[in-house]
Structure 1
């Protein structure tokens, strides 16, 4: 059985990302924001998606794709009958004039490696999700694409005629292509491209050098950290779950969702990963996003918001072919209308390091007791509600154990914040809510299984309850934690460390794929209860479910190891990074240093 893999590398600069196939085609790129229409979208429609590729006229013999070490700069080497060449793709990002320079600019450098490669360049951007074909127009050394929401220009030293007519040419010198949205490149093409490449390389390698990344599977952890970083939309501080939409959780499942938004829940886990590696800038930026997004919310918080703080994320279906003909193709996400009450605790726990970690100089923390108290009051107000849970059930409302766990964790965080703020009112309310949350969690306990079920009144297991161990509600050294873990793995472990979220039928039937974040939670839980050899062994196997660059999808088919779901999934890379940190802390010496 052939394993399905996402054969793409991803570049980005915290303003946009691009998915680049092993054949050099940019198969997915949204401009000007993560949640805008694609400008290149062949991933979802081979006809309407447009393309931007640099192909040998005789066809590809071999391809090799890799990142420049410790960067988000991607190299794709192509071998054909006439010769070989390298395409280096990157989104410029570096510190300049007291701020980060991160333009809507894609730079492609094409170098001859051997022979006399005969190439064809195709550049056909699209607008309005494939419905708009911009008109190409000659400039002096550039092509303008007219009709999009802003000026799009391709500046290059390749013959414009060859590009527009898709004529082949011999690559006998280094070529550059700079695609811009808005302000065009006005400086010298070669000098600027090379300067930006050097500066961007130094930025990413410096960012990694300043991170506290453990030695355990360090190379994998570094790649996860780099990928997570470009999931933050730096302009507002929002962190997206993924930069793609409608990649199916399993073929034909119709579980095709748009993940280009900021989930409060996902962000908690992502910030936890950044805190583990000693990077706090992302937390500070997210704090401002939270303040701006929730300032006018007085009744409840949504589970997710747009990266610009937008509340309405109306779900629509588009007339597109879909990834490998999997429909529907959706934009927007109806989950914004859901009641998911774990969100309040996640906001509080996400903000805790800003108030409790004295390494962070953060003056604003002393001026925000209103946000903390308001969030606690929302827990109190919604405490008895049934909700959709973290898996966002559309037709099943319950008193979820996971929701009350985050009421407990959020209240615990608020108690610590209250000490920092010296705010008695916050401390008293948080203490009361923590006790109430404990009572509800205990109502989920199933004596015959010695474990905590998905919700009050049911006995089915749910992988989210691994968090009872990871968040120290059930301390790992206790028998209660060990019993709970055994019950969980008995029902949900798919083998080789893979883990199902749950196995009961939901609105779309019975889940077919395992969920990678749950697998990494399982590995963490094994480490917590002292089963460290199993944790290491399964961690090693889970890394084998990545693609050729170490990038992880959302889901894995347990039968053949196929990658499915949106890609790359921030959740999955968070899981890897946090599991590596957890295992490393449990080991006296790291045994598996690659």
Structure 2
């Protein structure tokens, strides 16, 4: 049965997910939102070998997997009943070559005999058209060509071509090398080139990690999360996708199956914020370039919630009928109709990461007056929409409201523009944006405050608490972000009463729901992992470190063997659900570790 025990590999151009058997079961070409050449993850459990690539060891009895230290290079060790051992090295090449980053649309696999006389079989069955058909095959003396929709991939190998084509077992007596990449002649000796590529790729990632400012505690968890977040960036444009997959259900048989292979302005904001805490400025710089193009193309400053990694606006949603879904739980959706929703929080999420570029002298390109003027157009939209109904950050499809989170993000946009204007010496603009921020604050305090009366006044004297939407009485976990966004201080009685109310309504043991009321698909059945991390942050900021650490350790214990998390979790069984790996969830690991860790000074 399919599971989310998956190991991502990638190079910021393509990515792949490898399951517990060592098979590539998910991978799209020529980029993350492309046709899934490897789509076995969403073919259900039909028993057919299609949409996968694996090395099958005859009479296998055990398997173990691990990443090479501080890299996304996966090592899978297979052992047979006779003691024969095979090692598979999986990676997508990434290193500097000829003055630029070499990151081809390619998967590299090296298979080495370690002990005994192991016999293996190569099963390579790429598909085309979202699972519609197997790729058409042609071959030469040392390569096989797979014709997939709009792309042709060439496998170059020093393994016997006949054995690969026939899927025949053969004795592995020497290392064999496989490069599935562009349809062009492979330059050089495949063995030498792939061994060199592996070494250079390992060195690239080790040096990237070496530049991270990690906390003292939980370093391994933070490093793995950071590497995987970087894999979620499409480096060509700078876009950051919410996850590498589509249509993993948020809960069993719920139809909550969405395509997350696109750049949500909100998710990307949280990603660059977390990586910025670690000093990974390369991701921030590329994403800011992506944002500048988005802002330039915006009509009247209006921003969509999400865009294609290319920056394209239209992301038509449709269903891939030839894929039955994760564990057979369809539909498999391609595209995402949320692109035409109104989600007013996105204006703040453009302004906030962009403001750093006005003062951070480490950046290769600092922001200038043209950038400020462009951001003011975004700020104008934040100001105009701060008290207007929208679908909200949870992307409700059939209802709207004036969501508190969206309004607080609009406040943050105006607040940060005021700060930037002051830094630039623009006193008139500073005054304008400060006045607007103050007005939005007053509107939030009036519209989003739920006043308690009589016996309900058990809230520490605040007299009420903030609610999820203006004039409403329901709660959602995004209210916990009011401190992170600097709208209120953690010690403020209003926030403490809100924290108390949110926990009472949404906490389920060690987990947090995003909201408890019915939505377009009924009542939520799983916890939303980032909300649990938001709770941990709120507890820490409120001085409840012991409880915060306990919950954080519990969340780390729910990670996959690869050290990652998906979007959702069953709050009773702790089984992972939702798209994988989810940037939100990895952000939570990094942020909470940074806040809860001991200082390096304590150790020195």
**What TM-score bracket applies, with the shorter chain setting the length?**
over 0.9
Which aligned pairs between 1:474-553 and structure 2 lie closer than 5 A?
A: 474-496=488-510, 498-553=511-566
Q: Give the CA deviation at 1:589.
A: 4.5
Shift of 1:432: 2.7
Q: 2:403 aligns with which of 397, 400, 403?
A: 400
Q: 1:32 maps to which residue?
A: 30
- The Cα of 1:362 is off from its aligned counterpart by 2.0
Counterpart of 2:456 in structure 1 is none
Q: CA RMSD in A?
A: 1.9
1:151 counterpart SS class: strand
Task: Give the match for residue 107 of structure 2.
Answer: 106
State the match for 2:597 in structure 1. Answer: 584
Aligned equivalents of 2:148, 2:326: Cα separation in 1: 26
Distance in 1 (CA, whole Å) between partners of 2:364 and 2:80 is 55
The change in CA–CA distance for 1:492 and 1:176 in structure 2 (over 3 A counts) is: same
Of the structure 1 ranges 442-451 and 121-130, higher mean CA displacement relative to structure 2 is found in 442-451
1:458 counterpart = 2:456: no
1:354 matches 2:357: yes
- Which residue does the alignment assign to 1:11? 9
* Residue pair 2:141, 2:161 contacting (<8 A) in 1 also: no
Native 8 Å contact 1:532 1:586 kept in 2: no
Moved more, 81-90 or 13-22: 81-90
* Corresponding position of 1:61: 61
Q: Is the 8 A contact 1:267 1:350 kept in 2?
A: no
- Indicate the SS of the match to 1:61: strand
Distance 2:257 2:232 in 1: 20
Matches of 2:14 and 2:435 in 1, distance apart? 43
CA distance in 1, matches of 2:481, 2:172: 55
Assess, with a 3 A threshold, how the Cα gap between structure 1 residues 248 and 407 changes in structure 2: closer, same or farther.
same
Distance 1:385 1:405 in 2: 12
Q: Is 423-432 or 450-459 further displaced after alignment? A: 423-432
User: Residue in 2 aligned with 1:378?
Assistant: 381
- What is the deviation of 1:6? 1.2
Map Cα deviations across residues 199-218 of structure 1 (whole Å, 9 max, x no partner). 11111011111110101211
364-373 or 553-562, which deviates more: 364-373
**Contact 1:228–1:573, Cα closer than 8 Å, also in 2:** yes
Q: 1:507, CA displacement in angstroms?
A: 0.3
Who is 1:191 aligned against? 192
Inter-partner Cα distance in structure 1 for 2:501 and 2:598 = 25
Q: Is the 8 A contact 1:89 1:106 kept in 2?
A: yes
TM-score normalised to structure 2 length: 0.94
> CA separation in 2, counterparts of 1:276 and 1:307?
24
Q: Note the C-alpha offset of 1:188.
A: 1.0
Deviation at 1:378, TM superposition (A): 1.1
What residue number does 2:73 align with? 73
Alpha-carbon deviation of 1:16?
A: 1.1
The residue that corresponds to 2:450 in the other structure is 446
Match of 1:309 among 297, 307, 311: 311
C-alpha distance after superposition, 1:179-209 (max 9, x if no partner): 0034442221011111111111111011111
Q: In structure 2, how many angstroms separate the alpha carbons of the residues matched to 1:425 and 1:145?
A: 62
Between Structure 1 and Structure 2, how many residues are aligned?
587
- Provide the rounded CA distance (Å) in 1 between the counterparts of 2:362 and 2:87: 43
Q: Can you list the C-alpha shifts for 1:301-325, whole angstroms capped at 9, x where unaligned?
A: 0000000011111110111210001
Three-state SS of the structure 2 residue aligned to 1:260 is coil
Spell out, residue by residue over 1:43-62, the C-alpha distance to the aligned partner (whole angstroms, 9 max, x if none): 0015595221101133x311
Q: Is the 8 A contact 1:151 1:183 kept in 2?
A: no
Q: 1:418 aligns with which of 421, 442, 451?
A: 421
Going from structure 1 to structure 2, the CA distance change for 1:61 and 1:427 (only over 3 Å counts) comes to same
Query: For residue 341 of structure 2, what is the aligned residue in structure 1?
Result: 338
Q: Is the 8 A contact 1:32 1:181 kept in 2?
A: no
Contact 2:382 2:413 in 1 (8 A): no
The CA distance in 1 between the partners of 2:292 and 2:451, in whole Å, is: 42
Q: Is the 8 A contact 1:43 1:49 kept in 2?
A: no
Cα distance in structure 2, aligned partners of 1:121 and 1:306: 35
Does residue 439 of structure 2 align to residue 436 of structure 1? Answer: yes
Structure 2: distance between partners of 1:365 and 1:417: 11
The answer (yes or no) to whether the contact 1:355–1:417 under 8 Å persists in 2 is yes
Q: Spell out the pairing of 1:58-457 with structure 2 (5 A cutoff).
A: 58=59, 60-82=60-82, 83-146=84-147, 148-299=149-300, 300-319=302-321, 320-424=323-427, 426-442=429-445, 443-448=447-452, 450-457=464-471
Partners in 2 of 1:512 and 1:217 — Cα distance?
Answer: 30
User: 1:393-431 CA deviation, whole Å, 9 max, x = no partner?
Assistant: 111201111001101111111112212333345424422
* Structure 1 residues 143 and 581, CA gap change in structure 2 (3 angstroms): same
Residues 44, 322 of structure 1: 8 Å contact kept: yes
Tell me, yes or no, if the aligned pair for 2:15 and 2:32 is still in contact at 8 Å: yes
Q: Tell me if the contact between 2:50 and 2:134 (Cα under 8 Å) persists in the aligned partners.
A: no
Gaps spanning 5+ residues in structure 1: where?
none
**Which residue in 2 is equivalent to 1:469?**
483
SS class of match (2:54) = strand
Distance 2:483 2:12 in 1: 33
- Contact 2:216/2:599 (8 A) holds in 1: no
